[in-house]
């Protein structure tokens, strides 16, 4: 309804407009941060250094700043960007959605919203969350024991890992245990180089070409317009809006702008992200997580373009069930594990030397640490989105749901006074279906396992994947797309290998096959 659309827009706008600034007590609080970051954050006219909650400012502080107090202040500002405004905005959405669901004969929005998806019902969402928890939490607990060992070197009596420590201590463990400092790969990922590299990789994988249209108008001068060609024939257009600016959408997402209709209309889409912006003296060095996000969102984009050649607009591009839409994006992000893929574009911005296979191997080894913790956090978010929408709105205490689910499904504790739900943008569009990310991670790892690990871009699998998974768009169910490509329903074998790679030498809890729901 128009009312719900307006409520969703307000919720997201409050997050975008809610950017906050943290004032440093003194320059020493920058200790541990990369030198290029420090150079970008000079004192202002009043001698004060200010850090915003935009992604390029926030995440480096959380990973590298030695100051516990700075990280604690940053997490508070970040979590509360849209609080208290989004407390009322979310409750309004909950009431509207509950009214829609009960009017149509459902007991909750979660049941109504699951009806047209692969998972089928709200009860199946709860079962999937519990199943994933049984697989994930034991591994996450082993990881947390390693984090606590590291933390106790400074805080001998430590018994918990807090949210403001959840990036910092994993980084220290990766340095100490796996000989990998994530700052060591940043010089290989200047923004412009990464952007071109991802275009080149996608061109080879999907057998398409890209051409920039420098004269095309867009909504901001910084936005780039690109055309996509298949054997010389135009098949779509997309826009890249990739750096922060005031009032802009503050997360990272692909937006489908125009459905494709075969012979009549080309599909169009936009990537809206917030990556470091290159300048005259700053190449915009990216974290490896930024590069992964770029691949992820480009996976959505290619799905929309390649699936945008349907007879009808309603089944074009990413018009699949919502709980299939994240599978192609999460599959493409796995390409960052390939030394060959990275070596083709990851070159040191000063020396021009390609990233070495040895450095990529250490990066991959280190990145396996804390995968289970990341999945556990995502599972907690899935539980939050379900629990918020599984009952009547008046029965929901938003702060209690948030804290209870983090305690039940993760080993991380939330700082007092933070209100995570207020900046959890997926509660608007995905509502009760945030489980989609983990449901599709299972599928994505199953897909990725079909490619040749030695040469991901070679052989017949890439084009089989394009033809059988991406090109049908929404003309087939997600369950049928999976069976068409794999020759069977998805299972959790590849996912479990990926998630528990750090502890591959010892058994972990396993779960039953993640079954498609018909």
Q: Is the pLDDT of residue 515 over 60?
A: no
For the chain, the average pLDDT equals 94
Q: Band of the pLDDT at 504, cuts 50, 70, 90?
A: confident
Distance CA 434, CA 330 (A): 14
128-181 pLDDT, tens digit each: 999 999 999 999 999 999 999 999 999 999 999 999 999 999 999 999 999 999
Q: Average of pLDDT values for 441-449?
A: 97
The reported pLDDT for the residue numbered 389 is 98
Residues 312-349 pLDDT 10s: 988 999 999 999 999 999 999 999 999 999 999 999 99
φ and ψ at 404, to 5 degrees?
-60, -45
Most distant pair of Cα atoms in the chain: their distance: 68
389 alpha-carbon distance from chain centroid: 22
Q: What share of the chain is helix, strand, coil (3-state, %, to 5)?
A: 55, 10, 35
Contacts of 450 (CB under 8 A, 6+ apart): 461, 465, 485, 486
Q: What is residue 202's predicted lDDT score, i.e. its pLDDT?
A: 98
Residue 513 pLDDT: 35
Confidence of residue 508 (pLDDT cuts 50, 70, 90): very low
> How far is it, in rounded angstroms, from Cα 434 to Cα 381?
7
Q: What is the pLDDT of residues 386-432, one digit of tens each?
A: 999 999 999 999 999 999 999 999 999 999 999 999 999 999 999 99
Whether the pLDDT of residue 289 is over 60: the answer is: yes
> How many Å apart are CA 432 and CA 382, to the nearest integer?
8
In three-state secondary structure terms, 74 is: helix
What is the mean predicted confidence (pLDDT) over 208-229? 96
* The pLDDT value given to residue 280: 82
Q: How far apart are CA 503 and CA 34, in angstroms?
A: 31
- HSE on the CB side for 404, CA within 13 Å? 11
pTM of the model: 0.93
Cα separation, 487 vs 474, whole angstroms: 19
pLDDT in tens, 32-89: 999 999 999 999 999 999 999 999 999 999 999 999 999 999 999 999 999 999 999 9
Instruction: Check pLDDT > 80 for residue 512.
Output: no
Is residue 375 over pLDDT 80?
A: yes
Q: What is the pLDDT of residue 290?
A: 97
Share of the chain above pLDDT 70, in %: 97
The pLDDT of residue 507 is above 90 = no
> What is the average pLDDT across 496-510?
69
CA geometry: angle 175, 293, 429, nearest 5 deg: 130
pLDDT band at 505 (very low <50, low <70, confident <90, very high): low
Q: What is the SS3 string spanning 447-501? A: HHCCCCCCCCCCCCHHHHHHHHHHCCCCCCCHHHHHHHHHCCCCCCHHHHHHHCH
Flag whether pLDDT at 511 surpasses 70: no
Q: Strand pairing of 268-272 and 233-241?
A: parallel
């Amino acid at each position: 309804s128009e009312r719900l659309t307006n409520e969703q827009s307000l919720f997201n706008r409050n997050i975008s407009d809610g950017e906050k600034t943290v004032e440093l007590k003194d320059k020493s609080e920058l200790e541990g941060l990369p030198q290029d970051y420090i150079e970008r954050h000079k004192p202002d006219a009043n001698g004060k250094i200010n850090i915003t909650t935009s992604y390029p400012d926030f995440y480096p502080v959380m990973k590298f700043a030695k100051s516990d107090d700075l990280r604690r202040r940053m997490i508070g500002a970040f979590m509360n960007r849209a609080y208290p405004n989004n407390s009322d905005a979310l409750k309004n959405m909950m009431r509207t959605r509950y009214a829609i669901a009960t009017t149509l004969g459902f007991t909750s929005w979660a049941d109504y919203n699951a009806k047209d998806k692969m998972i089928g019902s709200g009860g199946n969402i709860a079962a999937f969350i519990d199943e994933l928890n049984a697989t994930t939490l034991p591994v996450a607990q082993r990881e947390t024991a390693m984090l606590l060992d590291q933390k106790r070197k400074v805080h001998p009596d430590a018994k918990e890992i807090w949210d403001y420590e959840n990036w910092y201590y994993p980084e220290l463990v990766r340095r100490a245990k796996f000989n990998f400092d994530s700052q060591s790969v940043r010089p290989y990922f200047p923004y412009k180089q990464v952007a071109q590299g991802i275009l080149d990789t996608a061109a080879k994988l999907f057998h398409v070409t890209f051409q920039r249209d420098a004269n095309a108008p867009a909504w901001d001068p910084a936005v780039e317009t690109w055309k996509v060609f298949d054997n010389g024939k135009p098949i779509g257009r997309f826009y890249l809006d990739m750096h922060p600016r005031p009032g802009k959408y503050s997360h990272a997402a692909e937006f489908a702008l125009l459905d494709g209709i075969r012979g009549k209309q080309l599909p169009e889409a936009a990537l809206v992200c917030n990556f470091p912006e290159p300048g005259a003296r700053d190449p915009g060095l990216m974290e490896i997580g930024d590069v992964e996000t770029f691949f992820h969102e480009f996976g959505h984009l290619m799905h929309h373009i390649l699936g945008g050649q349907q007879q009808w607009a309603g089944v074009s591009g990413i018009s699949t069930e919502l709980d299939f839409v994240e599978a192609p994006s999460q599959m493409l992000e796995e390409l960052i594990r390939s030394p060959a893929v990275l070596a083709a574009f990851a070159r040191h911005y000063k020396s021009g030397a390609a990233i070495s296979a040895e450095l990529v191997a250490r990066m991959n080894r280190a990145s396996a640490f804390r995968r289970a913790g990341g999945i556990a956090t995502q599972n907690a978010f899935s539980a939050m989105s379900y629990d918020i929408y599984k009952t009547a709105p008046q029965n929901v205490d938003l702060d209690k749901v948030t804290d209870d689910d983090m305690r039940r499904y993760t080993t991380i504790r939330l700082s007092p006074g933070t209100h995570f739900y207020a900046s959890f943008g997926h509660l608007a569009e995905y509502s009760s279906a945030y489980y989609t990310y983990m449901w599709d991670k299972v599928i994505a790892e199953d897909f990725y396992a079909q490619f040749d690990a030695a040469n991901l871009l070679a052989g017949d699998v890439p084009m089989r994947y394009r033809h059988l998974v991406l090109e049908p768009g929404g003309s087939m169910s997600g369950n049928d797309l999976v069976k068409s490509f794999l020759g069977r329903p998805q299972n959790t074998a590849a996912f479990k290998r990926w998630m528990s790679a750090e502890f591959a030498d010892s058994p972990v809890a396993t779960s039953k096959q993640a079954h498609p729901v018909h």
